[in-house]
Structure 1
Amino acid sequence: MKRIIATILFGLLGTAVLISLGVWQVQRLAWKQGVLSEIDATINGAPIPLPQSPTPEANRYAPVALSGQILPGEVFVLVSTRDQGAGYRVIAPFETGGRRILLDRGYIRLEAKDSARQIGASTVSANLHWPDDRNSSTPVNDIAANIWFARDLTDLAATLGTEPVLIVARSETPSDPGILPIPVDPSNIRNDHLSYAIQWFLLAVVWILMFGAFIWRMRKPKEA
Structure 2
Amino acid sequence: MQFAFKPALTVATLIGLAILISLGTWQVQRLAWKEDLIARVEARTNAEPIEFAEAYRRWLEGEDMEYTPVWVQLVYNHPREAHVFGSLEGVAGWYVFTPASFHKRQPDFIDEDAVLYINRGFTADTFKARETRPDSLIAADENDTLPVVTGLLRTPQESPAIAGALTPQNDPARNEWYVRDPMVFAGAAGVKALPVWVDSSGSENPAAWPKGNTTRLDFNNRHLEYALTWFGLAATLLVVFFAFSLKRRDA
Q: If the length of structure 2 is used for normalisation, what is the TM-score?
A: 0.73
Inter-CA distance 132–138: structure 2 relative to 1 (3 Å threshold):
farther
Is residue 71–residue 120 contact of structure 1 (8 Å, CA) maintained in 2?
A: no
Q: Tell me if 1:202 matches 2:232.
A: yes
Q: Where do 1:148-187 residues align within 5 Å?
A: 148-158=177-187, 159=189, 161-164=191-194, 165-187=196-218
Shift, 1:120, TM fit: 1.6
Q: How many Å separate the matches in 1 of 2:15 and 2:191?
A: 61
Question: Could you tell me which residue of structure 1 aligns to residue 174 of structure 2?
Answer: 145
Shift, 1:131, TM fit: 4.6
Question: Could you tell me which residue of structure 1 aligns to residue 82 of structure 2?
Answer: 75
Inter-CA distance 21–113: structure 2 relative to 1 (3 Å threshold):
closer
AA aligned to 1:176 is A
Q: Tell me if 1:109 matches 2:124.
A: yes
Q: Secondary structure at the match of 1:167?
A: strand
What is the aligned-residue RMSD (CA, Å)? 3.1
Pick aligned residue for 1:86 from 79, 87, 92: 92
Inter-CA distance 132–139: structure 2 relative to 1 (3 Å threshold):
farther
Shift, 1:2, TM fit: 8.1
AA aligned to 2:248 is K
Inter-CA distance 15–72: structure 2 relative to 1 (3 Å threshold):
closer
Shift, 1:44, TM fit: 2.7
Q: Tell me if 1:125 matches 2:150.
A: yes
Q: How many Å separate the matches in 2 of 1:93 and 1:126?
A: 15
Q: Where do 1:48-67 residues align within 5 Å?
A: 48-51=50-53, 54=57, 55=59, 57-58=62-63, 59-67=65-73
Q: How many Å separate the matches in 2 of 1:175 and 1:220?
A: 81
Q: How many Å separate the matches in 2 of 1:160 and 1:36?
A: 37
Alignment gaps of 5+ in structure 2: 105-111, 141-146
Inter-CA distance 66–222: structure 2 relative to 1 (3 Å threshold):
same
Is residue 70–residue 94 contact of structure 1 (8 Å, CA) maintained in 2?
A: yes
Runs of 4+ aligned structure 1 residues displaced above 6 Å come to none
Q: Secondary structure at the match of 2:123?
A: strand
Q: Secondary structure at the match of 1:120?
A: coil
Q: How many Å separate the matches in 2 of 1:87 and 1:24?
A: 37
Q: Secondary structure at the match of 1:32?
A: helix
Is residue 121–residue 210 contact of structure 2 (8 Å, CA) maintained in 1?
A: yes
Is residue 150–residue 203 contact of structure 2 (8 Å, CA) maintained in 1?
A: yes
AA aligned to 2:151 is A
Is residue 202–residue 213 contact of structure 2 (8 Å, CA) maintained in 1?
A: no
Q: How many Å separate the matches in 2 of 1:16 and 1:149?
A: 40
Alignment gaps of 5+ in structure 1: none
Shift, 1:102, TM fit: 0.7
Is residue 133–residue 207 contact of structure 2 (8 Å, CA) maintained in 1?
A: no
Q: If the length of structure 1 is used for normalisation, what is the TM-score?
A: 0.80
